[in-house]
Amino acid sequence: MPSKTFLQTKTLSPSYIAVDLTYRCALNCPFCFVKRNGLSDECGCELGLAGWLKIIRALGPGGKKFYLTGGEPLLLPFLPALVRELKTAGHSVLVTTAARVSSEAAAELAAAGPDEIALSVHGPRAAHDRIAGAGTWSATIPNLEIMKARRPAGTRITLWCTVNQGNHARLPETWRALASLGADGVAFNHLEFVSASDTGATAKLLSGIGLRTPLKASADLLRGIDAAKLAAGVAAVQRKAGPAVKFYPPLTGAEIKAWYSPGTAFKKKGFCLGQFRATWFAPDGRLLTCQPLAVHAGAGLPSPLAAYNGPAYSAFRILLLKQGGFLPACRRCGRAPYHTLENKGV
């Protein structure tokens, strides 16, 4: 684990860049961090293409991994142009979408050639519509077919499914439905939630260093989830699909039962590397420590690297280290793209 001395002497530069292009979205998924925590109320105006290109160039040379998300990033007409600019500059690009947009928007994104498109599908038609909103399936799946047809070689399409009350008891059925859609892969994300006690403890720790989070308790999302039935479903999918299907984070049967028990002080391995190798931007260009906590850590312009190494971000990192690598509210964060579960050092 990096030390306080390391933070005081080392200039950090992120190699993984997550960008919330917008907080707008037509879906109504109950587990969405953006809507549950009122992130749109925390944000000012949305940057346009010119603003994002200024930030990207100010991050310095060298290929980076960009994660373009939201909200629904396909609502931004400049998204394909942004993808092309990033690819031309030598970066890799992953775009998340629910694809409840026009067929033209879906086609233009695919043709722009991101490295990966992660498409949210949370079950067969009826289950997906119950979770995401009526009519979502009939908009999403035709756009999936368009993306498959219009993408260049090298663009991967993965279906992302969040485990929740509406699909947890039928995971094998859910996997079969998603696998039949002909994407390149299927990934399940374990439900992320925060208990009231962990929310309060985290808010208190942050206030001690002059920072705040809009994060709200969300243990109510567990209502109706049978952890034992879920663990059996995960095991059944893994037996059938093998390594072709991914679960984030990868949990054993015992860990699944602990994860979905709010009274259990689930202990994660390692520490969060997202604060040392990655950064997250809000739609208005401000730096966030991560989307779930949404702690504002500085302005992206004129110098995102100055903010990344500035007093707010540094204070947050030191607090994280003092707490052993995770804050209380981080117990059930499964966001593998910007942190590692194992302590590999920095």
What's the average model confidence in pLDDT over 79-97? 98
Does the pLDDT value for residue 338 go beyond 50?
no
Q: What is the pLDDT of residues 186-196, one digit of tens each?
A: 999 999 999 99
Does 271 or 323 have the greater pLDDT score?
Answer: 323
Does the pLDDT value for residue 64 go beyond 70?
yes
Does the pLDDT value for residue 4 go beyond 80?
no
Does the pLDDT value for residue 265 go beyond 70?
yes
The predicted structure's pLDDT at residue 6: 55
What's the average model confidence in pLDDT over 5-15? 74
Where residue 336 falls among pLDDT bands split at 50, 70, 90? low
Does the pLDDT value for residue 65 go beyond 90?
yes
Q: Which residues contact 96 (CB under 8 A, 6 or more apart)?
A: 67, 68, 69, 70, 73, 117, 118, 119, 120, 160
Domain segments of the chain as ranges? 4-338
What's the average model confidence in pLDDT over 85-91? 98
Give the separation between CA 72 and CA 293, rounded to whole angstroms. 19
Where residue 252 falls among pLDDT bands split at 50, 70, 90? very high
What's the average model confidence in pLDDT over 37-52? 85
The predicted structure's pLDDT at residue 1: 56
Give the separation between CA 105 and CA 102, rounded to whole angstroms. 5
Q: What is the chain's mean pLDDT, rounded?
A: 91
What's the average model confidence in pLDDT over 296-310? 94
The predicted structure's pLDDT at residue 245: 95
Where residue 316 falls among pLDDT bands split at 50, 70, 90? very high
Q: What CATH number is given for 4-338 in this structure?
A: 3.20.20.70
Where residue 5 falls among pLDDT bands split at 50, 70, 90? low
**Token reading at 47:** 């940057």
The predicted structure's pLDDT at residue 2: 59
Does the pLDDT value for residue 342 go beyond 70?
no
Does the pLDDT value for residue 337 go beyond 50?
no
Percent of the residues in the chain that have a pLDDT greater than 70, as a whole number = 93
Where residue 272 falls among pLDDT bands split at 50, 70, 90? confident
Please tell me which of 30-39, 135-144, 328-337 the model is most confident about, judged by mean pLDDT. Answer: 135-144
Cα-only R_g, the chain: 19
What's the average model confidence in pLDDT over 103-132? 97
Q: What is the pLDDT of residues 213-227, one digit of tens each?
A: 999 999 999 999 999
Does the pLDDT value for residue 341 go beyond 50?
no
Please tell me which of 40-44, 291-295, 302-306 the model is most confident about, judged by mean pLDDT. Answer: 302-306
Where residue 35 falls among pLDDT bands split at 50, 70, 90? confident
CB-based burial of residue 210 (10 Å sphere; 0-12 exposed, 13-18 middle, 19+ buried)?
A: exposed
Q: How many other C-beta atoms are found inside a 10 Å radius of the C-beta of residue 113? A: 17
Contact 225, 168 (CB under 8 A): yes
